[in-house]
């Protein structure tokens, strides 16, 4: 048990030293860069530098959140909401991105945290390494190092002890031992206190959680209406395809069979011709019904899962397509269907409108999220807007609280990223 406590004290001391250095370097540097960049916004320079620096601040804050949970078990939720879609390209996009980040309350709380971290955060954690390292100096003085210091005219002090004799040096060693004992009990608390202080500013406030919940409810209501409209449109499409395709062929085949029945004895040769035509119509009707079923829920998706279904899609494309799938298990059928048709429409857009010569598809699952990236080397310029196919994909994913992001500068390449929260089984 004593060995475990010593190990924990030493580990906390090392963690405290790392955090102390981080607060004096990372926090100060990022705070100064952020302030300078924001001040330069009226001059135009800050419009381009501020989003980059603020993203660095968020990455730095997320690293501290990860350390808090890994080192002390303190979980600090992230207040950064997921965005559907992306900002436009060019200068307009930079202005929109900068404005969005500056309007986000989480940005200003991050800057407040940097200021607190470089001051109170440093003070709260510096005692952890000090209680490990400072006792060593007391013992070093007791071993005789105090003599050359004193003889050189140095008035060395160890804490409140003026070290001017061996007795005083031994007192320094005793005091150092006492501080070392304190480290065994207090060091983990210093590190934990540092992260508790960080949580007061890095965790979302009640108002932020309420606003996020309200936005989530609004989005769910919107996606529910979109799902109802999409279902109605899908039913109309199926009805139209049946009426114009398979149904018409089956009606014509029934009429042909009636004529064959009348001609089978009078004109056998003509009856044979019509039988061949009826057989052809039945085959075409069967093909159309299979295509219709494939459009509702592809058999390969039901039988072999999303990965193989996407690979089958790629094989039918006229453009060379590389598919990389890393899925251990299967998602729910509705999620797989939504992901499949989203990928299908994205691939269709890449072939028809982007004039891509090669396409790459990456499908994997991590941290409770199904992530799909479709990249092509086409002409670019794809945007999420009213009437575009990407808007339809966004609505389809939104039904499952998924998001769509598009990076498509003019001239390419285009990357369409989809994320759907789900678990594999």
Q: Domains of the chain: which residue ranges? A: 2-204, 208-296, 300-421
Give the tens place of pLDDT for each residue, 88-107.
555 667 788 888 888 888 89
pLDDT of residue 147: 76
Instruction: Give the residue-averaged pLDDT of 267-283.
Output: 73
Q: Name the fold adopted by 300-421.
A: Heat Shock Protein 90 (3.30.565)
pLDDT digits (tens, 9 = 90+) for 281-290: 676 666 666 6
Q: Given pLDDT bands bounded at 50, 70 and 90, which one contains residue 410? A: confident
140 class by beta-carbon count within 10 Å (0-12 exposed, 13-18 middle, 19+ buried) = middle
| Separation of alpha carbons 339 and 370, rounded Å | 9
Preceding omega of 413 cis (within 30 degrees of 0): yes
Task: Confirm if 124 and 138 have CB atoms less than 8 A apart.
Answer: no
Q: Provide the token pair at 155.
A: 């008035």
Q: What is the mean pLDDT of residues 322-331?
A: 87
pLDDT digits (tens, 9 = 90+) for 337-380: 888 888 888 888 888 887 888 899 999 988 888 899 999 888 88
How much is the pTM? 0.57
Strands 321-326 and 359-366: parallel
Query: For 306-316, what is each residue's pLDDT tens digit?
Result: 888 888 888 88
Q: What does the alpha-carbon distance between residue 372 and residue 325 come to, in Å, rounded to a whole number?
A: 9
More confident residue, 195 or 9: 195
Contact 421, 334 (CB under 8 A): no
Largest CA distance in the chain: 135
> Does residue 27 contact residue 116 with C-beta atoms inside 8 Å?
no
Closest among 63, 72, 68 to 30, alpha carbons compared: 63
pLDDT single digits (tens) 189-212 = 899 999 999 999 888 877 666 666
The answer, yes or no, to whether residue 85 has pLDDT greater than 50, is no
CA distance 281 to 71: 70
**pLDDT of 333 strictly over 60:** yes
Name, in order, each residue with C-beta under 8 angstroms of 62's C-beta and a sequence gap of 6 or more.
78
| pLDDT band per the 50, 70, 90 thresholds, residue 165 | confident
Q: Could you tell me which residues come within 8 angstroms of residue 390 by beta carbon, excluding any fewer than 6 positions away?
A: 346, 349, 382, 383, 384, 404, 406, 416
Q: What's the pLDDT tens digit per position in 61-82?
A: 999 999 999 998 899 888 886 5
Among 65-74, 270-279, 350-359, 401-410, name the one with the lowest average pLDDT: 270-279
158 to 143, 168, 261, 327: CA distances (angstroms): 14, 9, 116, 61
**Could you give the CA distance from residue 325 to residue 318 in angstroms, rounded to a whole number?**
20
Pairing of strands 403-407, 414-421: antiparallel
């Amino acid at each position: 048990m004593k060995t475990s406590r010593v190990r924990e004290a030493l580990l906390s001391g090392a963690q405290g030293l790392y955090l102390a250095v981080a607060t004096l370097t990372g926090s100060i540097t990022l705070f100064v860069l952020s302030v300078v960049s924001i001040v330069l916004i009226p001059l135009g320079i800050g419009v381009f530098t501020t989003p980059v620096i603020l993203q660095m601040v968020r990455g730095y804050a997320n690293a501290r959140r990860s350390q808090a949970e890994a080192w002390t078990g303190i979980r600090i939720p992230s207040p950064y909401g997921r965005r559907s879609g992306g900002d436009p390209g060019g200068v307009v996009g930079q202005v929109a991105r900068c404005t969005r980040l500056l309007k986000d309350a989480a940005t200003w709380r991050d800057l407040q945290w940097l200021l607190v971290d470089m001051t109170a955060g440093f003070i709260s954690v510096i005692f952890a390494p000090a209680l490990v390292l400072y006792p060593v100096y007391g013992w070093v003085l007791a071993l005789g190092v105090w003599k050359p210091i004193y003889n050189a005219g140095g008035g060395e002090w160890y804490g409140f002890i003026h070290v001017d004799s061996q007795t005083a040096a031994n007192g320094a060693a005793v005091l150092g031992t006492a501080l070392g004992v304190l480290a065994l009990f207090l060091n983990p608390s210093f590190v934990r206190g540092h992260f508790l202080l960080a949580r007061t500013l890095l965790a979302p406030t009640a108002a932020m959680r309420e606003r996020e919940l309200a936005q989530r409810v609004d989005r769910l209501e919107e996606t529910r209406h979109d799902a109802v409209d999409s279902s109605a449109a899908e039913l109309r499409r199926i009805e139209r395809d049946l009426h114009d395709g398979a149904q018409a062929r089956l009606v014509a085949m029934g009429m042909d069979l009636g004529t064959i029945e009348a001609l089978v004895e009078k004109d056998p040769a003509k009856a044979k011709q019509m039988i061949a035509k009826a057989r052809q119509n039945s085959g075409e009707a069967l093909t159309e019904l299979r295509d219709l079923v494939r459009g509702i829920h592809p058999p390969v998706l039901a039988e072999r899962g999303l990965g193989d279904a996407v690979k089958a899609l790629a094989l039918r494309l006229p453009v060379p397509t590389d598919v990389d799938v890393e899925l251990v298990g299967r998602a729910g059928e509705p999620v797989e269907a939504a992901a499949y048709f989203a990928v299908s429409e994205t691939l269709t857009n890449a072939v028809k409108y982007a004039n891509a010569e090669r396409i790459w598809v990456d499908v994997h699952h991590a941290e409770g999220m199904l992530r799909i990236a479709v990249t092509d080397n086409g002409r670019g310029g794809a945007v999420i807007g009213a009437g575009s196919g990407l808007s339809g994909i966004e609505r389809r994913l939104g039904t499952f609280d998924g998001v769509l992001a598009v990076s498509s500068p003019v001239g390419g390449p285009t990357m369409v990223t989809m994320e759907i929260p789900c678990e594999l089984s």
